[in-house]
Chain A
C-alpha cells in the first residue's frame, strides 16, 4: 500500500509538471513561483520545527553512554562514546553526523539452532553514507548554476567528481553513487522482512522522489539534452530575484525543478527533519558528566514527599523498641 501510494504520488508530481509546462505553458509558475514557494516552505518550515523543538526543554541529562565514562585516572576512558566534556561531545557529534558512528555499530542477529549469533552488518551504514554524501556533493555541485563566477572549491569538486573523464558531458561519479545509494535503500526496504513490515508511505515517498530527481537530472545531462545556458538563466534569475522562465528549455528541466521543489517543501514536515534532529538529540549531544555538573530542569517543581517526620510518626514506637534513634521521644 505504502509503495503504491508513494509511487503514484511521484508519478502525479511528474505528470503535473509535464502537463503544466508542456500542455498549459505555465513556465513561470513552474520555473519561478513554485520554486520560490518551495524554498520559503523549506526555510520557514525548518526554522519553525527547530524552534518548536527548542521550546521544549531538555529536563534531564540522558546521554546514552557507549563506552567507559570518566572515572579514576587509572581507568582508560572512551571519550568519544562517553564524552566527559563539551569538546568531546562535539567530537561525538561530528562522528555521528559526518560518519554515522551509531549505524557503524550495526549488527545482524540471527537464531541458528537455538543459538543467537550476531554478525557484522555494515551495508546500511555503507550505503547510507554513500547516499548522503553523494546527495550533498550533487547539491553543492549545482552551485555552478547559482553563481556568476563559480568558486574554485566547487570547480575542484567537479573536476574530482568527473575524474575518469568518461562520456560527454563527463560522467559525475556522484550521479551514479546517488542512484546506487537510493536504490539500495529502497530495495532493502522492499525485500528485508524486518524493514518492509515497519515501512510506511512516508518511507518510500522520499526515496522514490529522490530517485526521480536523480533520474531526471541524469537524463537531462546525458540523454535528453536541454539548453544549459537557459537553465543557468533560470537559476540566476531566481537567486537575483529577477525570475525568468524561458520556454526554450526542455520540459524535463521543469520536471526536475518541480520534483526538487516538492522535496524542499516536503522536507520540514517529514522524517527528513532528521537532518536537524540529529544535532538536537539529548542522548547524543550531552556530556556524560551528570554527577559532576548539575543539570537544571526548568520545570522542576516541588512534589509531595513523605517526610522523615511523618515516617517517624508512623513507626516511633517500633523504632524505640528496636533501639533505633528517634527525633521526638
Chain B
C-alpha cells in the first residue's frame, strides 16, 4: 500500500493551476485509486469483460472493440438522459464550480475541478457528436478517444464522490454526479469498475447485503448487540427476522451490523423500536439499505434496490422504515419509486405511536428513521435524558446525498438537539446544502486509496477542526453509514480527538427505557458523565 504523506505535507495545496488542464500529464498514482474489479464479482453481476486486471499495469485487458462500445454507449445515454445531453452542451466554463469540489480543494489537481472532470468527457463528445468538434477539432476543445483518455476517465470518475456540491453552484444546475454516474456506466461496459464497488455489489446481489453477511450471521450479529444492550441497560430485547405480517419492515445499511461505530447506531435502532414496542421486522434478504449498484450503473442500482419492495411485498408489511444512510436515501428518495414502484401493495405510512401521517412519503411508503424519531420527540413520546451525552460536544455533518438529494436538514438537527446538550454548527459554508463530502463516498472508501480519501476529506476535516479548536467539539454526528466508516480515520488523520457517531446512538444513550437499570456506561461501554472514571 502506498504511504500516505503526513498531514503537514498533504495540506500544502496549490489551488492556482499553472497551465491549461489538458497540458498536465496524467499520473495514475498509487494511493489515489482503488484496485480493479475482480473477475468473479463481475461475473456474479453479469457485467461484461469479466477478468482480473490491475490499473497499475499498462494493459487493462480491454475488449477488442472497446472504442466503438464506448461511443455507442455515449450515444445511447445521450438519448436516454436529458440531463447528460444538456450537460454536455451548455456548460459555459464560468468556473463557479471549480473551487467547490472537495477533491480539488484537497489536491489542487485541475482535473478535479468539476468543470474539467466533465470536460474530459465533453471533449470526446464534441469530437464525435457535434459539428463544431468534427470540423474544428482541438480548436473547438475536441479530442479523440484513446486508451490514455479512457484511463484518464477511469482515474477521475473514481475521484468523484457524486456529492453534487458543484451542481448547487452551477447556474444551469450541471451536476457532475450525473456525469460521473454516466461515465462510470461507460467504464462498466468495458469491465473497468473498482473492486471496492463490485465486491460489495456482488455480495449484495447474492447475499442481500454489501458485507456478504449470510442470514444466520445477521441474526447472530444482532444477538451480539442484544447481549451488550442487556449488559448496559438491563433490558432484554427480542427483535424478529423475516417475519410475515409485521406492520413495518426495517432496512438499514449492513455496515451498521459490522463495524464500530455503526454498530452502536444499530443498537440504537434496536433499543428505540423495543421501547416503542414497534411491530416491525428485520429482513435478511433485504438486509442492505445502501446501494453500491448505484455507483456502477442505473441498471445495477435497480437490481439491488428491487429487494426492498420485493421483501416488503413478500412479508406483507404496511410500510418501510429506512435507517441512517446517505446514498441509500438518495436512491430511496429520488430513484426507488421510479425503479421498482409503484408500491401500491403498501399503505401510506402512519406512525403507530403518534398517529402522524407521513405525507412526504405517501408514494414510496418509505420513511427515514430520523423523521420517525423526530416526530416521536415532537409529540413527547420519548423519555429522554440528554445529560447522559453531556461528555459530548457535538457537531453535525450533513451527508451529501440527504443534503442535496433530499433537502433533509432540520430533522436530524432537531433530534440531536433534543438528545444532546452541547451542539455547535460548523461554519455555514460547510454545512446543510453546502456540506462537504466525507471524501470517501460513492464506493471510494477502500483502504488502498487512503491518500485520495484524506485529500477529499480535507475540507470536511478542516471545518471540524474549526469547531474542535473553537468549541472543543469532540463528537461528529451524522446520519450515514459510509460516514461512520470513513470519518473516523479522517478525524484521526486531520483532527485527532474527534470521534464519530450515528445519530441514533445519541438517541439510545439519552433514551430512558421502561424497566431499565441505572445505566453506568454508554453504548460504547464508557462511563456516563458523572458515573466514575471522570
- A residues within 8 Å of B by Cβ? 1-2, 5, 49, 52-72, 74-76, 78, 81-82, 96, 100, 102-103, 105-111, 114-116, 118, 124, 128, 192-203, 269-271, 273-274, 277-278, 280-284, 288, 290-297, 299-300, 303-308, 311-312, 314-315, 318-319, 321-325
In the bound complex, residues from chain A placing their C-beta under 8 Å from that of B303 are 303-306
3 nearest interchain CB pairs?
A69-B407, A277-B90, A65-B407
In the bound complex, residues from chain B placing their C-beta under 8 Å from that of A62 are 83, 175, 178, 334, 405
In the complex, what's the smallest C-beta–C-beta distance from B79 to chain A, in angstroms?
Answer: 5
Closest B residue by C-beta to A107? B429
Contact residues, B276-320 vs A (CB, 8 A): 284-285, 298-299, 302-303, 306-307, 310-311, 314
Q: Does B69 contact A (CB under 8 A)?
A: no
In the bound complex, residues from chain B placing their C-beta under 8 Å from that of A297 are 338-339
Q: Does B115 contact A (CB under 8 A)?
A: yes
- B residues within 8 Å of A by Cβ? 8, 11, 13, 15-21, 46, 78-86, 89-96, 98-100, 105, 110, 113, 115-116, 119, 130-132, 136, 139-141, 164, 167-175, 178, 205-208, 214-216, 219-220, 241-244, 284-285, 298-299, 302-303, 306-307, 310-311, 314, 332-335, 337-339, 341-342, 356, 359-364, 366, 371, 374-375, 378, 403-411, 414, 427, 429-430, 432-434, 458-459, 462-463, 465-466
Closest A residue by C-beta to B20? A197
In the bound complex, residues from chain A placing their C-beta under 8 Å from that of B113 are 194, 198
Q: Which residue from B78, B81, B405, B410 sits with its C-beta under 8 Å from A59?
A: B81
Closest B residue by C-beta to A314? B206
A193 B17 Cβ-Cβ under 8 A = yes
Q: How long is the Cα–Cα vector from A269 to B126 in the complex, in angstroms?
A: 11
Q: How long is the Cα–Cα vector from A207 to B175 in the complex, in angstroms?
A: 25
In the bound complex, residues from chain A placing their C-beta under 8 Å from that of B465 are 115
In the complex, what's the smallest C-beta–C-beta distance from B86 to chain A, in angstroms?
Answer: 5
B307 A56 Cβ-Cβ under 8 A = no
Given A60-B335, A65-B407, A294-B338, A102 and B173 contact (CB-CB distance below 8 Å): yes
B407 A56 Cβ-Cβ under 8 A = no
Q: How long is the Cα–Cα vector from A2 to B99 in the complex, in angstroms?
A: 23
Other A-B contacts than A198-B98, A281-B86, A291-B360, 19 sampled, CB-CB below 8 A, are A65-B403, A71-B410, A75-B410, A75-B414, A102-B171, A116-B105, A194-B16, A269-B131, A271-B91, A271-B93, A277-B86, A278-B90, A278-B173, A280-B86, A294-B338, A294-B363, A299-B80, A315-B284, A324-B284
Q: How long is the Cα–Cα vector from A84 to B282 in the complex, in angstroms?
A: 32
In the bound complex, residues from chain B placing their C-beta under 8 Å from that of A321 are 216
In the bound complex, residues from chain A placing their C-beta under 8 Å from that of B130 are 269
Q: How long is the Cα–Cα vector from A59 to B310 in the complex, in angstroms?
A: 22
Given A53-B82, A296-B338, A324-B219, A194 and B98 contact (CB-CB distance below 8 Å): yes
A202 B140 Cβ-Cβ under 8 A = yes
